[in-house]
């Protein structure tokens, strides 16, 4: 009787198999598009041998993380749609964990990029005020640990999490009947806590921790990037003011900087607002996944596209990147001169 009641609750609150297939198909298509977009940056930068050039280095890191996240999502969606996940359910556990990990890395790398741009603005302002850039250049090395931390911290946390919550293959079948919607290889990011996590009581705390470990960096990135880009615009205006009264051309350049900063923010918000909203909603014990199926579809149409949009706004549509990747005279530029020489 209890089992029948539990199955009834799952049927009411979990996404149906048809819904999951729709989300799976969307994830498959969108992640493939992101894989192509991010992959184009990696391949072209590799062929041109300009990975370590300051204008290319940040987007190469971001594209690599986007590529790995999209690859995990593509693999998970393929396994789900071909029903391979019912035979190797333990593999889904690692695929979803890896996908979430690489997406968190992309969050941290977007913050690192914003810090780099702000650091460059401050260096230029200091150079104008002091008539030399020596003092500012000494601070360039502070950005090297940011790249290491952006990769190392999420990878270590994900590795520890997957070790703690790992199970033998037979154990997954005993706690998660296939078709409950909880075990899918699709990183929907947010399930119904009471229904999915109660099936795994011994790791319930860890599963909830994973949700908050995803929502935390996501929310932090939105807030920190907004603040940093406001500071970037302010610093840029200060640089312009050192030349005296602003001319029409200087006002025009300032507007362009504002548009670029807004574009980075809009892309990130567009991709992750549906996931953030779902995360907030799913905290409630009465969260009904079926009721918000449209939001899962919207999440599938936006979040996996991050790699594609990043390849455009940080790469192919950015003048500094295009010049660095195409102009021959930059080929022999010293890669270690400054990781902070990236332009907005």
Which residue range is the domain that position 256 belongs to?
Answer: 15-330
Say if 71 falls within a structural domain: yes
Say if 168 falls within a structural domain: yes
Say if 324 falls within a structural domain: yes
Say if 6 falls within a structural domain: no
Distance separating alpha carbons of residues 107 and 230, to the nearest angstrom: 18
Nearest to 310 by CA among 100, 107, 50: 107
Say if 2 falls within a structural domain: no
| Cβ 161 vs Cβ 206: under 8 Å | yes
| Cβ 29 vs Cβ 300: under 8 Å | no
| Cβ 279 vs Cβ 214: under 8 Å | yes
Among 30-34, 51-55, 331-335, the least confident range: 331-335
Say if 325 falls within a structural domain: yes
pLDDT tens digits along 323-339: 888 877 444 444 443 43
Say if 170 falls within a structural domain: yes
Q: Is the pLDDT of residue 61 over 60?
A: yes
Distance separating alpha carbons of residues 210 and 296, to the nearest angstrom: 19
Structural domain count of the chain: 1
Q: What is the CATH number of the domain that holds 233?
A: 1.20.1070.10
Among 148-152, 185-189, 204-208, the least confident range: 204-208
Distance separating alpha carbons of residues 297 and 294, to the nearest angstrom: 5
> Mean pLDDT for the chain?
79
Among 29-33, 135-139, 227-231, 304-308, the least confident range: 135-139
Burial 9-30 (b: 16+ CB within 10 A, else e): ebeebbbeeebbebbbebbbbb
pLDDT tens digits along 299-317: 999 999 999 999 999 999 9
Distance separating alpha carbons of residues 221 and 273, to the nearest angstrom: 12
Distance separating alpha carbons of residues 63 and 65, to the nearest angstrom: 5
* Angle of the 89-130 helix axis to the 248-282 helix axis, nearest 10: 150
Say if 5 falls within a structural domain: no
């Amino acid at each position: 009787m209890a089992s029948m009641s539990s199955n009834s609750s799952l049927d009411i609150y979990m996404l149906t198999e048809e819904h999951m297939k729709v989300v799976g198909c969307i994830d498959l298509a969108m992640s493939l598009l992101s894989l192509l977009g991010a992959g184009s940056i990696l391949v072209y930068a590799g062929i041109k041998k300009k990975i370590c050039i300051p204008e290319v280095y940040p987007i190469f890191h971001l594209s690599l993380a986007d590529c790995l996240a999209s690859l995990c999502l593509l693999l998970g969606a393929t396994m789900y749609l071909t029903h391979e996940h019912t035979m190797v359910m333990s593999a889904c556990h690692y695929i979803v964990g890896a996908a979430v990990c690489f997406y968190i890395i992309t969050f941290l790398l977007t913050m690192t990029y914003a810090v780099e741009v702000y650091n460059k603005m401050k260096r230029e302002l200091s150079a104008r005020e002091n008539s030399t850039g020596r003092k500012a250049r000494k601070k360039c090395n502070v950005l090297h640990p940011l790249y290491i931390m952006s990769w190392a911290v999420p990878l270590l946390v994900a590795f520890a999490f997957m070790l703690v919550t790992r199970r033998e293959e037979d154990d997954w079948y005993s706690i998660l009947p296939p078709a409950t919607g909880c075990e899918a290889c699709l990183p929907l990011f947010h399930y119904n806590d009471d229904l999915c996590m109660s099936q795994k009581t011994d790791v319930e705390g860890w599963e909830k921790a994973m949700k908050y470990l995803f929502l935390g960096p996501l929310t932090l990135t939105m807030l920190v990037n907004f603040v940093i880009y406001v500071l970037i615009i302010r610093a840029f205006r200060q640089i312009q003011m050192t030349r005296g009264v602003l001319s029409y051309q200087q006002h025009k350049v300032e507007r362009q900087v504002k548009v670029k900063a807004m574009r980075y923010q809009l892309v990130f918000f567009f991709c992750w607002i549906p996931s953030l909203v779902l995360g907030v909603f799913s905290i409630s014990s009465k969260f009904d996944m079926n009721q918000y199926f449209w939001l899962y579809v919207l999440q599938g149409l936006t979040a996996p596209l991050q790699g594609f949009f990043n390849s455009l706004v940080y790469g192919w549509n950015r003048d500094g990147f295009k010049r660095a990747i195409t102009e021959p005279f930059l080929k022999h530029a010293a890669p270690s001169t400054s990781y902070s020489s990236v332009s907005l």
